[in-house]
Homo-oligomer: A and B are copies of this chain.
Amino acid sequence: MITINSTIKDIAAVCEVSAGTVDRALNNRGGINEATKNKILKTAKELDYQPNHAARCLVTGSTHTIGVVCINLGNSFFSLLIEEIEQIARDNGYFINLILTHNDAGKEIEGIQYLARRKVDGLIIFPVGIGKEYENKLKRLNIPIVTLYNRISPDFVHVDVDCRQIMRNAVSFIVQKGYRRIIYLNYGIQELRERGINIFSREERCLGYLEGIKKEMLKEVLVIESYDPDTLIDLVRANADEKTAVLCPSDSVAIRVLHLFRDRGVKVPEQAGIMGFDNIDLLKVISPRIQSVDCKIRYLGRKAFSILHRQINKDSTVHDCVVKYSFTEGETL
């Protein structure tokens, strides 16, 4: 028994009323006889009627869909954020059109254009694009936009933790634990920089580290930009007088360092400290408990959606949102 999708006309025909009346019944618009309404509702159910979204969208102009433009899902910071956004969006009757950019600005803008054709009601973007031309393209879309992670410019509402402040305070936090040498691992930044894409968030973190070093009046600025175990180990051991800590841009890097240290016989935290970023779930089951920063991902996701939602509803009072964070308890410092 193959059911052909029924339309409002089919219902109208069966009930011997007009399409308009069916519409009134289905969307309880009032001004309709209870009896006819019930009859219509009943046959709608019998015919397994499902409203055609495209048709509705064509006339109302709203798709109840938001485009989410993210970098990838391998990074659990991103995937958890998407998970939260999907949930809160759906609770509010919105669906998610997901596209991934993989740090490719061309792919990003192309994807966004397509989302615009689909008349998504709003966009949540983890931008990789940057520059005036990119900005203008986005503005011309005439679609509410919220940016996350990387900032484009003050013209776009941005939601995030203050990475720079976090890193600055992280340095102080580490210093309070008795460390005087802090290495910042900025892995992979060179390649990103060469691609000329938006690396706002990464830059902010590094700036925060530098500011922290200055504030705490530490002697050495130690930034490593490419992954090489020996370089790191050598650097850690270069000065035995002052305790050294490694500040990482993410927890997965921190886990990597933890294991490297274990392999090379560097005792944590006795001989070197480690601090991560994100506080991913996995940390709970790894020992020693890695010191990290909890960025309230779920709250971030909800906030991003709610601000976008307000923009969609023509609320012009929206503004940037800086989400709070907290340092976790850890055994690696």
Contacts and interface: CB of A to CB of B under 8 A. Distances in A.
Contacts of A2: 142
Contact of A117 (B52, B111, B281): B52
Contacts of A96: 97-99
Contacts of A281: 74
Contact of A79 (B73, B113, B259, B282): B73
A285 B76 CA distance: 16
Contact of A74 (B58, B80, B95, B115): B80
Contacts of A115: 95
Which among A256, A262, A285 has the highest number of chain B CB atoms within 10 Å? A285
A306 to B, nearest CB: 19
B87 A83 contact: no
A74 B2 CA distance: 38
Interface residues on A, range: 35 or more
B50 A116 contact: yes
Interface in A249-270: 252, 255-256, 259-260, 262-263
Contact of A53 (B76, B87, B117, B287): B117
Secondary structure call for the A interface = helix
B252 A282 contact: yes
A138 interface: no
A180 interface: no
Given A79-B73, A100-B87, A50 B113 contact: yes
Interface in A110-151: 111, 113-119, 140, 142
Nearest to A257: B285
Contacts of A73: 73, 79-80, 82-83
A278 interface: no
B63 A74 contact: no
A1 B276 CA distance: 45
A51 interface: yes
A240 interface: no
A42 interface: no
A97 B50 CA distance: 18
Given A73-B73, A116-B50, A98 B100 contact: no
A160 interface: no
A282 B255 contact: yes
A97 B100 contact: no
A65 B95 CA distance: 13
Contacts of A50: 113, 116-117
A9 to B, nearest CB: 14
B57 A86 contact: no
Interface in A277-304: 281-282, 285-287
Q: Closest 10 interchain pairs by CB? A: A256-B285, A73-B79, A54-B57, A53-B118, A79-B79, A73-B83, A54-B58, A54-B54, A98-B98, A259-B287
